């Protein structure tokens, strides 16, 4: 076990969102320590970037309490409620290859019992697909737009919808797509006023930003 873990158990009271556990760079001992501390405090925990070998290495008593989703590489540790009410946020995905990042955003919202509208495979290569769903998206207070390659979709969506648009560039694409840097730079240089941007593949951060948008309006 390790003694280098100190959970931020008051984060939800302070900012409205519980601390999440970023699993990827942590050792199994560190993961066990974090989950044991959360369990002792009676606090459920969202686990992000949890790889299958890490999950398999956890003690059975912990592993059996994790609701794991392989696509998003997220886990819910402990009891998590069900989303209630009509969605006020949406996760829009440009292509099928972008789905894991979109799924991370959706799971982050689900962990906080925030309902969301999921709209998939509507990239600008077939713009009619977006236009078919535009009226469904118009009432949303926040829309996360997940797109790699040229990253054009966030600018298009931000020019059509009134809510807060959060661009989520993904590392999908090859050559000059540069592991998501082209999509990131496209969003940062966007001519659509008010478009905001999170880091490459950061579905978790986008979802937390959307939750802050909802909290600010209440």
pLDDT (tens digit per residue) in 104-142: 999 999 999 999 999 999 988 899 999 999 999 999 999
Local confidence band at 215 (pLDDT 50, 70, 90 cut-offs) = confident
User: Does residue 50 surpass a pLDDT of 80?
Assistant: yes
For residues 100 and 163, state if they share a domain.
Answer: yes
pLDDT tens by residue, 83-108: 888 999 999 999 999 999 999 999 99
CATH number at residue 202: 3.40.50.1970
The whole model's pTM is what? Answer: 0.92
**1, part of any domain:** no
Give the pLDDT confidence score for residue 83 in this predicted structure: 85
Residues of the chain above pLDDT 70, percent: 98
d(CA 128, CA 126): 5
Helix boundaries (H) for 5-125 = 11-15, 28-40, 52-57, 60-63, 99-111
Q: Are residues 125 and 191 in the same domain?
A: yes
Residue 4 has pLDDT above 80, yes or no: no
Based on the fold, state whether residues 119 and 158 are members of the same structural domain. Answer: yes
Q: Which of the listed residues 30, 54, 77 is the one where a domain comes to its end?
A: 77
Containing structural domain, residue 210 = 89-216
Under the banding of pLDDT at 50, 70 and 90, the label for residue 162 is very high
Same domain membership, residue 61 and residue 127: no
| Full strand arrangement of the beta sheet holding 45-48 | 20-22, 45-48, 74-77, 66-69
Q: What are phi and psi of 186, to 5 degrees?
A: -60, -45
Domain contains 84: no
Domain boundary among 56, 77, 98: 77
Res. 14: pLDDT tops 70: yes
Q: Domain tally for the chain?
A: 2
Confidence of residue 1 (pLDDT cuts 50, 70, 90): very low
Q: How confident is the model at residue 10 (pLDDT cuts 50, 70, 90)?
A: confident
Identify the pLDDT of residue 144. Answer: 97
**Which of 77, 104, 130 delimits the end of a domain?**
77
152 plus 207 within the same structural domain? yes
Q: Does residue 43 belong to any structural domain of this protein?
A: yes
Residues 202 and 97 both lie in one domain: yes
Q: For residues 17 and 92, what is the distance between their CA atoms, to the nearest angstrom?
A: 22
% of residues, the chain, pLDDT over 90: 74
Same domain, 94 and 71: no
Structure letter (DSSP) for residue 211: H
- Has residue 5 been placed in a domain? no
Q: Answer whether residue 65 is part of any domain.
A: yes
Asked if the structure places residue 6 within a domain, the reply is: no
pLDDT interval class at 69 (50, 70, 90): very high
pLDDT (0 to 100) of residue 217 = 64
Say yes or no: 62 and 151 in one domain: no
Residue 3: inside a domain: no
Residues 177 and 111 in one domain: yes
Element (H, E) at 81: none
Is there a contact between 67 and 45 (Cβ–Cβ < 8 Å)?
A: no
Tokens of 190: 């966007």
Residues 73 and 96 grouped into a single domain: no
Q: Are residues 112 and 177 in the same domain?
A: yes
Nearest to 22 by CA among 91, 104, 145, 133: 104
Q: Do residue 141 and residue 35 come from a single domain?
A: no
In a domain, 207, yes or no: yes
Q: Using the 8-state DSSP alphabet, how is residue 178 labeled? A: G
Mean pLDDT computed over 29-42: 91
Instruction: Pick from 31-40, 81-90, 200-209 the range whose average pLDDT is largest.
Output: 200-209
């Amino acid at each position: 076990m390790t003694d280098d873990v100190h959970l931020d158990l008051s984060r939800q009271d302070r900012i409205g969102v519980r601390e999440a556990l970023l699993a990827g760079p942590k050792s199994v001992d560190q993961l066990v320590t974090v989950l044991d501390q959360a369990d002792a405090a009676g606090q459920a925990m969202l686990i992000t970037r949890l790889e299958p070998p890490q999950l398999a290495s956890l003690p059975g008593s912990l592993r059996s309490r994790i609701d794991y989703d392989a696509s998003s590489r997220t886990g819910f540790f402990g009891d998590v409620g069900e989303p209630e009410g009509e969605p006020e946020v949406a996760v829009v995905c440009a292509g099928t290859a972008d789905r894991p990042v979109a799924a991370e955003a959706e799971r982050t919202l689900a962990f906080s019992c925030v309902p969301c509208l999921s709209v998939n495979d509507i990239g600008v290569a077939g713009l009619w697909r977006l236009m078919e769903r535009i009226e469904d998206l118009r009432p949303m207070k926040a829309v996360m737009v997940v797109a790699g390659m040229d990253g054009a979709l966030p600018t298009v969506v931000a020019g059509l919808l009134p809510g807060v648009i959060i661009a989520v560039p993904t590392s999908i694409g090859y050559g000059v797509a540069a592991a998501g840097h082209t999509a990131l730079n496209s969003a940062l240089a966007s001519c659509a006023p008010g478009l905001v941007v999170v880091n490459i593949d950061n579905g978790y951060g986008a979802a937390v930003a959307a939750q802050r948008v909802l909290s600010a309006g209440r």
